[in-house]
Amino acid sequence: MGRVTKWLKANGSTLPVLVSVAALVVAGLSYDISRGVREEQQTVALEIDAAANIRDFTNEGYGLRVTLLNASLRPIIVKRAQLLMNGHLVAEASGYLNDTRVLDRYMIEPGRVTDRRRELPVAMGAREGKTVARLMDFRYFKAGAKEDPDSWKRQNRAERRFEKNLIFLPTGENKDRLQLLLELLPGGTRTDDVRGIPGMTARFAWQQSFARTPGGTYGLEIRRKLGATGQADRIRLEVWSRHG
């Protein structure tokens, strides 16, 4: 205690200065931390992965699988989603599924897509991630094109071309670039490429594979997933056009 008293007597005049300097250092650190938190709260950081396969056509539109990760400290609202092909708009999301397993079981339970369909927008909290299926509706543009036969034909061609791209998308042999455009609040709009994935089906569901060349498809193989060895089923194959 005596040593402390002697030191205070010898350095009493410098003690207030040291205390002031320490207070300034603490204040500066607090300001830097609070500024960093404010800047991060204002930053929009959304990671997106969009994936497509040939089997995800439903009665409510094409199901585009989208994984969203909000890495920021603020909520984000996805107001609109559009499908682009070579930069041109071909379809717009009319709703979404909050569970992509509904797509996997579409061949068995097609009615669940309608029952589980939700309306846009999609709200995401801070640090939240989710995987949804955007229901892309080509009919949205056809409805406005009925009075214009040329526009109707162009939209039909775009839809058929999109389907053809889905066959080659998993191998990277597709000729057209497919992209997903999202309108965010806040954050404006952003565009991300759509990657291809092999189609997943439910247990014992029917599967098909195509024999094809760059010029087109010339063969079709149909099989039942996880079917027993030697199991045989009688099926009826009807060939028809989705476009009338």
CATH code, 154: 2.60.40
CA gap 81, 93 in Å, rounded: 5
Domain count across the chain: 2
CA gap 109, 102 in Å, rounded: 8
From 83, 94, 103, select the one nearest 155 (Cα to Cα): 83
Are 22 and 102 within one domain?
A: no
> Which residues partner with 131 through β-bridges?
67
Number of residues in the chain: 244
Cβ 121 vs Cβ 79: under 8 Å: yes
Cβ 177 vs Cβ 193: under 8 Å: yes
Give me the pLDDT at residue 143, please. Answer: 43
Our CA dihedral for 138, 196, 214, 135, rounded to 10 degrees, sits at -10
Are 70 and 12 within one domain?
A: no
Give me the pLDDT at residue 127, please. Answer: 85
Are 85 and 189 within one domain?
A: yes
Exposed / middle / buried, residue 130 (Cβ in 10 Å: 0-12, 13-18, 19+) = middle
Helix, strand, or coil (residue 43): coil
pLDDT tens string, the chain, 244 residues long: the values are 556 556 555 555 555 545 555 566 556 656 555 655 555 555 778 889 999 988 888 888 899 999 998 888 889 999 999 999 988 888 999 999 998 888 888 878 888 999 999 999 999 988 888 889 999 987 655 444 455 656 667 777 778 888 888 877 777 777 789 999 999 998 899 999 998 876 555 555 666 555 555 555 556 666 665 555 566 667 676 666 544 4
Cβ 178 vs Cβ 165: under 8 Å: yes
Residue numbers of the domain that contains 161? 46-199
Give me the pLDDT at residue 78, please. Answer: 94
Asked if residue 208 belongs to a domain, the reply is no
Asked if residue 214 belongs to a domain, the reply is no
Asked if residue 229 belongs to a domain, the reply is no
CA gap 64, 46 in Å, rounded: 18
Listed in sequence order, the DSSP H helices in the chain are 2-11, 15-42, 101-104, 111-116, 139-145, 149-168
Question: For residue 167, how many C-alpha atoms fall within 13 Å in the half-sphere facing its CB?
Answer: 15
Are 50 and 30 within one domain?
A: no
From 122, 136, 145, 143, select the one nearest 68 (Cα to Cα): 122
Give me the pLDDT at residue 145, please. Answer: 46
Give me the pLDDT at residue 233, please. Answer: 66
Asked if residue 243 belongs to a domain, the reply is no
**What's the pTM value of the predicted model, to 2 decimals?**
0.64
